[in-house]
Amino acid sequence: MPTHVAIQPGRLYPQPGYTVQIDKEGKWTATQIFLCHRTSAVTLMPRPGTPHPEIGFIEVSQVTVNFTEGDLAEITCQYAGAEEKEDEKANAVYTMGLSLSEEPLLSHLRYKNLVATEQEAIKLIQSGKDKDDQGNKLRDKVTSDRGREALAKIDRGQTNCYSPRVTWRESWVRNKPVAAAELNKIGNIDVPSGPAPALAGARNWLRNGVTQTQDGKAFRLELEWLASDREGWDADIYND
C-alpha cells in the first residue's frame, strides 16, 4: 500500500524521480521536483547556483514554484552544467556560414590596380563632379580600358559589387568561462579549429569573435573565424 507522508513546514522533500539530458555539445540539464509546505516555499526553494543533490557538477539555473490547493507547494528546479573532461572539445559542433556583402565597385580585384589618378577621378565623378579644382574634365583622366569599363558601369548605376563572406564557427560546452588566451586572439590571423574548408590562393582566416552564454554551471562558447578576400588578411595589421 502507498505510504502517505505529512508535509511539515520547514522541510523540503525531494521527489525520487528526475530527468537528465545531455545535448550534442556536452551540456547537461536535469529537472528535479521538490515538495514543501506552502508557508515554507519562499524560504526553502533552492536558489540559482545550488548544486544538484546527486549530480554535483550541475546547479540550479531556474526555479518555478506551483502553489497547489491546500497546504502543498511544488518546486520545479532546472539544473545545468558540464562535466570536467580531459578533452573539453570532444563534443564540439562546427558550422559554416556563407553570405554576400556589398562593397564599392572599385574595391573589386578587377579594378584595384587602376592608377591613383584614375581612381580619384572616377570617385569624384561618382560623387557628382565633372571637373577638378583646375577646371580639367575628370573624364579625360580616365584613359585605360579597365578604367573606362568601370566608369561605364558606374554611369549605368552599378556602383557596388557583391563580395562573398565565409564564416566558420566552433561551439562547445564546458564548466568554466572563456579564458584570456582565447580572447587575446580576436582580430588576429588564425587557423580555425576543426575541419574548416581549405581556402584558395592567398585567402586566410581571421579570428572574428568569441561568444559566451552561461546556464547554471554550463558555459557555452562559440568561436568564429572570418575568411579573407582574394588577397588575404594583411599580416602587418592583423597580427599582434
Task: Indicate if the pLDDT at residue 1 is higher than 50.
Answer: no
- Asked whether residue 169 is assigned to any structural domain, the reply reads yes
Kindly report the average pLDDT of the chain as a whole number: 92
Last residue of a domain, one of 143, 161, 179: 161
Q: Answer whether 221's CB lies under 8 Å from 174's CB.
A: yes
Task: Indicate if the pLDDT at residue 2 is higher than 70.
Answer: no
Residues 200 and 170 in one domain: yes
- Asked whether residue 7 is assigned to any structural domain, the reply reads no
Residues 171 and 214 in one domain: yes
Residues 173 and 156 in one domain: no
| Residues 6+ away with beta carbon under 8 Å from 229 | 109, 163, 203
| Coil, helix or strand at residue 166 | strand
pLDDT tens digits for range 88-126: 999 999 999 999 889 899 988 899 889 999 999 999 998
pLDDT tier at 156, thresholds 50, 70, 90:
very high
| Coil, helix or strand at residue 208 | strand
Task: Indicate if the pLDDT at residue 58 is higher than 60.
Answer: yes
Task: Indicate if the pLDDT at residue 171 is higher than 60.
Answer: yes
Q: Answer whether 202's CB lies under 8 Å from 229's CB.
A: no
Range of the domain at 152: 103-161
Residues 134 and 188 in one domain: no
Longest dimension (CA), the chain: 105
- Asked whether residue 240 is assigned to any structural domain, the reply reads no
Q: Answer whether 9's CB lies under 8 Å from 37's CB.
A: yes
Task: Give 95-160 as a DSSP string.
Answer: EEEEEEEEEEGGGSTTTTTS-HHHHHHHHHHHTT--B-TTS-BGGGG--SHHHHHHHHHHHTT--E
pLDDT tier at 68, thresholds 50, 70, 90:
confident
Residue 65's beta-bridge partner residues?
Answer: 75
| Coil, helix or strand at residue 204 | coil
- Tell me the percentage of the chain whose pLDDT exceeds 90: 80
Give the predicted TM-score (pTM) of the model. Answer: 0.75
How many structural domains comprise the chain?
3
Residues 132 and 76 in one domain: no
Residues 57 and 20 in one domain: yes
**Angle between the N-to-C axes of helices 145-155 and 116-126, in degrees from 0 to 180, rounded to the nearest 10:** 10
Residue 5: the pLDDT is: 63
